[in-house]
Amino acid sequence: MAAPREGSLEAPTRHPLDWKNPTFYDRADLFRELERVYDICHGCRRCVSLCNAFPTLFDLVDESETMEVDGVAKEDYWKVVDHCYLCDLCYMTKCPYVPPHEWNVDFPHLMLRAKAVQFKETGASFRNRLLTSTDTVGKLAGIPVVVSVVNAANRNPGMRKLLENTLGVSADAVLPEYHSVTLRDRLRTHAPRIVPRPGEKTTGKVALFATCYGNYNEPDIGEDLVAVFEHNGIPVTTVPKERCCGMPKLELGDLDSVEEAKNANIPVLAKLVDEGFDIVAPVPSCVLMFKQELPLMFPDDEDVQKVKNAIYDPFEYLMLRHKEGWLKTDFKV
Ligand code: SF4
Ligand code: SF4
């Protein structure tokens, strides 16, 4: 029998997330897989410096009686899961055992599965439900008058202490400002008269998915994006209707809410793609949601795949335009 290879020479692939299969939520099956992968990670330890999930796992192993994964109490497995914020770094930059390697290690998606099981079994705290409802919070905090109260409270040390004690939001964390005149408000009457110039890969006309953060917290970023794109001959219109991409709910393991967000956004975005628009969003994790997570959650949904192929990070888009010869590189002030 051939010995397992140390690392893979093939390009990494990613399996769809089998979240509609009842086994996905089977606790015993999950724990078998956690034990298998934790054991591989314990033998490897390459990711020790990436985040707190791996040091937590390795400390649990090293402090156990057997000094192996079988010595770690199953309930302590959750401590590792809690430290993972699904950044994908371990998968993307370190792990030699990702598929197609036979060990089939996809640490972030295993953590996601564990979060989904936890969410199905116990739901989420009020704090987590609130903090992951970014569009609702943005809408409420952005109501005129309310917005100045919220922003003043976020700058007030006493109120921040209260927020820390009630919602567990560190008083030292930098919190973004909220705006009542959102990015979508600012672009409502924007009607560029630019004739798009299609390139080999880009259509040269763009629909902007504002994102919750871009819409309520940093509308200037979106306005700057429009100015830069239109300076480069790319007309930008706003996506007619949008809600949160679902990434905060994904990180909570609330996959049904992710599906709800998908059902609201994808028909609008797919229609834009049919009309010849490319799509950009100013927040990378929102682009990632449409480009990676939704396609893996809904591999048979043609509209999801269509949007996946047409959505870009703004810098990726400008680089494509540069390769197509359409980017102005004189950078005059
Ligand atoms: S995906 Fe999770 S475990 Fe992997 S590096 Fe990011 S936070 Fe750490
Ligand atoms: S995720 Fe991969 S690279 Fe990282 S510790 Fe585990 S086996 Fe090693």
The dihedral sign for the CA sequence 207, 211, 214, 217 = positive
272 CA to centre of own chain: 22
Mean pLDDT in residue range 107-136: 96
Residue 71: is its pLDDT beyond 70? yes
Tell which CATH classification among 3.40.50, 1.10.3470, 3.40.190, 3.90.1010 matches the domain 183-323: 3.40.50
Which residues surround ligand 2 with Cβ inside 6 Å?
40-41, 44-47, 90, 94-95, 97, 105, 107
Nearest residue to 80 (alpha-carbon basis) of 129, 30, 130: 30
**pLDDT score at 3:** 62
Q: Return d(Cα 91, Cα 200) in angstroms, integer.
A: 31
Does residue 126's CB lie within 6 angstroms of at least one atom of ligand 1? no
Tokens of 136: 């609702």
Q: Looking at the CA of 53, which ligand is closest?
A: 1
Does residue 82's CB lie within 6 angstroms of at least one atom of ligand 1? no
**pLDDT score at 11:** 80
Does residue 111's CB lie within 6 angstroms of at least one atom of ligand 1? yes
Residues of the chain with pLDDT > 90: what percent? Answer: 94
**pLDDT score at 37:** 98
Ligand 2 atom 4, closest CA:
47
Nearest residue to 112 (alpha-carbon basis) of 56, 28, 30: 30
Ligand 1 atom 6, closest CA:
87
Tokens of 21: 């299969």
**pLDDT score at 9:** 75
- Tell me how far the alpha carbon of residue 7 lies from the centroid of ligand 2, in angstroms: 11
Tens digits of per-residue pLDDT, 220-237? 999 999 999 999 999 999
* DSSP letters for 85-123: ----HIIIII-TTSTTSTT---HHHHHHHHHHHHHHHH-
Residue 6: is its pLDDT beyond 80? no
**pLDDT score at 12:** 84
- Tell me how far the alpha carbon of residue 39 lies from the centroid of ligand 1, in angstroms: 16
ipTM above 0.90, yes or no: yes
Nearest residue to 141 (alpha-carbon basis) of 217, 206, 193: 217
Look at residue 253 and give its three-state secondary structure. coil
**pLDDT score at 162:** 95
Collect contacts of 103-107 with beta carbons under 8 A, ≥24 apart. Answer: 103/4, 103/40, 104/15, 105/37, 105/40, 105/41, 106/14, 106/15, 107/37, 107/41, 107/47
- Tell me how far the alpha carbon of residue 82 lies from the centroid of ligand 2, in angstroms: 17
Instruction: Quote the DSSP letter at residue 14.
Output: -
- Tell me how far the alpha carbon of residue 84 lies from the centroid of ligand 1, in angstroms: 5
- Tell me how far the alpha carbon of residue 81 lies from the centroid of ligand 1, in angstroms: 9
- Tell me how far the alpha carbon of residue 209 lies from the centroid of ligand 2, in angstroms: 34
Q: Are 212 and 282 in contact (CB under 8 A)?
A: no
Element containing residue 207 per DSSP (H, E): strand 206-208
Tens digits of per-residue pLDDT, 250-301? 999 999 999 999 999 999 999 999 999 999 999 999 999 999 999 999 999 9
Look at residue 206 and give its three-state secondary structure. strand
- Tell me how far the alpha carbon of residue 246 lies from the centroid of ligand 2, in angstroms: 27
- Tell me how far the alpha carbon of residue 122 lies from the centroid of ligand 2, in angstroms: 29
Q: Which of 77, 78, 80, 107 is the best mutation target for the ligand 1 pocket, counting ligand atoms within 8 Å of the beta carbon and taking the most? A: 107
Does residue 253's CB lie within 6 angstroms of at least one atom of ligand 1? no
Ligand 2 atom 6, closest CA:
41
* Ligand 2 atom nearest residue 98's Cα: 2
